[in-house]
Amino acid sequence: MPTNIYETPLASRYASPEMLYLFSADKKFTTWRELWVALARAQQELGLDISDYQIEQLEAHISDIDYEYAAEMERKLRHDVMAHIHAYGKSCPEAMSIIHLGATSCYVGDNTDIILMKEALLLIRAKLLHIIRELSEFAQKYKKLPTLGFTHFQPAQITTVGKRATLWINELILDLDEVDYRLGNLKLLGSKGATGTQASFLELFDGDHEKVKRMEQIIAKEMGFDGVLPVSGQTYSRKYDSGVLATLSGIAQSAGKFAVDMRLLSHLKECEEPFEGEQVGSSAMPYKRNPMRCERMYALARYIIVNAQNGAFTAYNQWLERSLDDSANKRISVPEAFLATDSILGIYLNVAKGIKVYPKVIEKHIMEELPFMATENIMMKAVMRGGDRQELHEVIRRHSIAAANAVKERGEKNDLVHRLADDPLIGMSVAEIMTELEPSKYTGRAEKQVEEFLDDYITPLLKANETECATVTNQNPLSI
């Protein structure tokens, strides 16, 4: 391919070969031909004059597509489906007369789109399961490790590294549920005709409504679906595209949130994404270890979330039984949403497999804040020794403010422990106060929550999907 023409980075840099194939010309047009074969076979079974030889010819030429001839015919006819009918017929002239019999363009176009979205969602589903498995192992490993929890990115209470990971996993579970919902509700358009009335097929079968209905079911079964849409115009409702794009947007939101968290933790030097031995973090600053994979995830997530609006705008602006202002848009928005989502999940999996955790840095940050967090426990101990709760509250408040000012205004270490130990109203030594500064005392049910979440939700899920979890997924090496 010439290098002086534009190529989407989703293909050249980010998406996996698996997803790229699903939206390739070969996959699209061989699926068109499979649909034409399924149509001919169903029509033959229901009594139309179609020979075994004609069907054999169609089957024999599903994969040998003459793209140059198809392009030549499209330039002449200005119609992609008719161009490919002619290209198919050129390969099997004895069957030319029965290709696309009674159908309209959306028979191949829309049914193929549904088939591709289904297969792409299955690939997305497998990758979600991979990431859930990796993060679950991470959560199990670090379920006990205390770490500062943040609200508003300000130190709040202590949680554990593993508990934080369950928050990432839980969002992916929500996404998996959404994917399963879409997969469970995707149906073929079927063979509905020019305005959805199936008039052309009713004519072919001499007014036999049952044969028209039966034909659709035969086609659906051959293409791996349990049914077709009950009603439509010429096209399936574009709300199906909008819904699928919304599901991909949800995945992008979860992945983007994880990426943001990792970027913040990288700044704190508590956790980092993988960094190879010869990786360059900055062309100007040799010491830099930028969180570039998570930044890439975040960037792609933004694209997917914004792109989801394409489906909504298209769905609400369809005119009556059919308009064509959807076509050019969905040719781009749907495949690229899948390619971008696939790209994100490939990076997510790579990061999840190799998150670096720095317990000493985490402990340092905890101990900088823990004296403040422990003041309630210290106050209760002092009260139990005979102190006045309200008076102690005021004393501890003053010392806390003074210690915080020393840290923020003069860059000094947090000396709250010594301030409290020196105050006779507290009545506790440094050693006694330090016994209250054990981080594990402040993690609440975090460790138990991790165990319960993994045992009750994740282990059964992964066990029920062992085959998919074992699937090896490839990724464009430039993305990771």
- Where in the sequence numbering do the catalytic residues fall? 152, 282
| Long-range Cβ pairs for the range 290-294 (8 Å, 24+) | 291/259, 291/262, 291/263, 291/266, 293/347, 293/350, 293/351, 293/480, 294/258, 294/259, 294/260, 294/262, 294/263, 294/266, 294/347, 294/351
Query: Could you give the CA distance from residue 355 to residue 210 in angstroms, rounded to a whole number?
Result: 59
Q: What phi and psi, each to the nearest 5 degrees, are found at residue 464?
A: -70, -15
Q: How far apart are the first and last CA of the chain?
A: 24
For strand 356-357 and strand 146-151, is the pairing parallel, antiparallel, or unpaired?
A: unpaired
Rounded Cα distance between 385 and 379, Å, is 10
Residues 6+ apart with CB under 8 A from 253: 171, 301, 305
* Residue 286 and residue 244 in contact, taking contact as beta carbons nearer than 8 Å: no
**Burial class, 321, CB count within 10 angstroms (exposed 0-12 / middle 13-18 / buried 19+):** middle
Q: Select from 419, 424, 414, 416 the least CA-distant residue to 382.
A: 424
Distances (CA, A) of 270 to 129, 283, 369, 480: 26, 24, 15, 21
Judge contact between 10 and 336, C-beta under 8 A.
yes
Which has the closest alpha carbon to 24: 341, 338, 296? 338
Q: How many residues does the chain have?
A: 480
